[in-house]
Amino acid sequence: MNIILLGAPGAGKGTQGNILSEKFRIPQISTGDILRANVRSKTQLGLKAKEYMDKGALVPDDIVVGMVVDRINEEDAKSGFILDGFPRNINQAEVLEKTLTSMGKSIGSVIGIEVDRKELVRRLSGRRVCRKCGASYHTIFNPPLNIGMCDKCGSEIYQRDDDKEETIEARLKVYEQETFPLVEYYSRKGLYRAVDGKGSVDQITMTIVGAIEGSDNPKVS
């Protein structure tokens, strides 16, 4: 069960990817999370990636693609994976397809979480994330029980550097120009399933599971 979650910044890829990962017991592979972990540990890759992420631009393909290919090859991804934030342009999609073909695998479905621009900005500007466990909150839609503190692990929650107003605008523009063409790319291959990303998190999960079952027939635990 190899799934791609496609959608603009703030559409809910991380939120839904996390739930689906537990439900289907397959890893969520978020390129954004892997890059941010590298930025935190100040690895060479992280230092280079940060320059692009702070501007809201895409990190160059040669950095990201290698990272994803290595992750897909890990043991826990053998029976499936959920890609969150990858591919993000046509080149990445083509490399992914070639890589999977060489491994005797393919993509089962591409779930496009669709949310209007106004809502995306509201979600991103209010998002707060736990520094330690990565749990995601929202100042209005999903506030933590104690201000500034993660409900799950008690660590500090913070605002992502790229969730500042100017960077949000840049990210949305990059999405429209570079990532949105993937909707047509995967529609032509018959893999794209559009899901309305507005509504409650649970409701959206149910719609996504229905879309996956329709295209892939997986067994849900």
Residues that bind Mg ion (CB under 5 A): 14
Helix (H) / strand (E) containing 136: strand 136-138
Q: Does 71 bind ligand AP5 (CB under 6 A)?
A: no
The reply to whether 127 belongs to the active site is yes
The reply to whether 131 belongs to the active site is no
Q: Does 112 bind ligand AP5 (CB under 6 A)?
A: no
Q: What is the C-alpha separation between 106 and 108, in angstroms, rounded?
A: 6
Helical residues (DSSP H) of the chain, grouped into ranges: 13-24, 31-40, 44-55, 61-72, 90-102, 117-126, 165-174, 181-188, 201-216
DSSP 85: S
Q: Does 208 bind ligand AP5 (CB under 6 A)?
A: no
The reply to whether 171 belongs to the active site is yes
Among residues 29, 45, 71, 86, the one that binds ligand AP5 under rule CB under 6 A: 86
- Residue from 71, 88, 123, 128 carrying the catalytic annotation: 88
Among residues 19, 20, 26, 59, the one that binds ligand AP5 under rule CB under 6 A: 59
Q: Does 80 bind ligand AP5 (CB under 6 A)?
A: no
Q: What is the C-alpha separation between 182 and 143, in angstroms, rounded?
A: 33
Minimum CB distance to ligand AP5 smaller for 24 or for 137: 137
Among residues 40, 43, 141, 213, the one that binds ligand AP5 under rule CB under 6 A: 141
DSSP string, 42-82: T-HHHHHHHHHHHHTPPPPHHHHHHHHHHHHTSGGGTT-EE
Minimum CB distance to Mg ion smaller for 14 or for 27: 14
Total residues contacting ligand AP5 by CB under 6 A comes to 33
- Residue from 71, 127, 128, 193 carrying the catalytic annotation: 127
Q: Which one of ligand AP5, Mg ion, none is in contact with 209 (Cβ closer than 5 to 8 A by kind)?
A: none
Closest residue (Cβ) to ligand AP5?
32
Q: What is the C-alpha separation between 84 and 77, in angstroms, rounded?
A: 14
Contacts with ligand AP5, 3-32, as mask; x by CB under 6 A? ----x-xxxxxxx---------------xx
Q: What is the C-alpha separation between 131 and 8, in angstroms, rounded?
A: 23
Those residues with Cβ within 8 angstroms of residue 170's Cβ, 6 or more apart along the chain or in another chain: 55, 56, 57
The reply to whether 71 belongs to the active site is no
**Active site (catalytic) residues:** 13, 88, 127, 160, 171
